[in-house]
């Protein structure tokens, strides 16, 4: 295939919050939507990404794109050791 580059493609950068949808997708793939949906909501929180946004009734994170939801998604990915996760 071909490699396409644009801008400062040689400059390294941290992925930060772009990891959240990838982690969520991996959890969905590994354990299924029903199991993930039982532990992470899919509604907008209306708050900043770094707020502790959990549903008051269910105590689960409101969505996987906030820090609490991303942490919950990582915890759902099957692994034998913490290093694997």
Give the model's pLDDT for residue 52.
83
Give the pLDDT band (50/70/90) at residue 64: very high
**Mean pLDDT to the nearest integer, 69-75:** 96
The model scores a pTM over 0.85? no
Token readout for 68 is: 């609490």
Q: What are the structural domain ranges in the chain?
A: 16-76
Give the separation between CA 80 and CA 70, rounded to whole angstroms: 20
pLDDT tens track for 3-59: 999 999 999 989 999 999 999 999 999 999 999 999 999 999 888 888 888 998 999
The secondary structure of the chain, three-state, reads: CCCCCCCCCCCCCCCHHHHHHHHHHHHHHHHCHHHHHCCCCCCCCCCCCCCCCECCCCCCECCCCCHHHHHHHHHHCCCCCCCCC
């Amino acid at each position: 295939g071909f490699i396409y580059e644009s801008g400062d493609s040689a400059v390294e950068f941290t992925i930060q919050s772009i990891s959240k949808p990838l982690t969520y997708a991996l959890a969905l793939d590994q354990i299924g939507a029903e199991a993930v949906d039982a532990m992470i909501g899919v509604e907008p929180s209306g708050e900043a990404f770094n707020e502790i946004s959990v549903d008051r009734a269910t105590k689960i994170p409101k969505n996987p794109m906030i820090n609490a939801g991303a942490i919950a998604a990582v915890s759902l990915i099957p692994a034998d050791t913490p290093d694997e996760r």
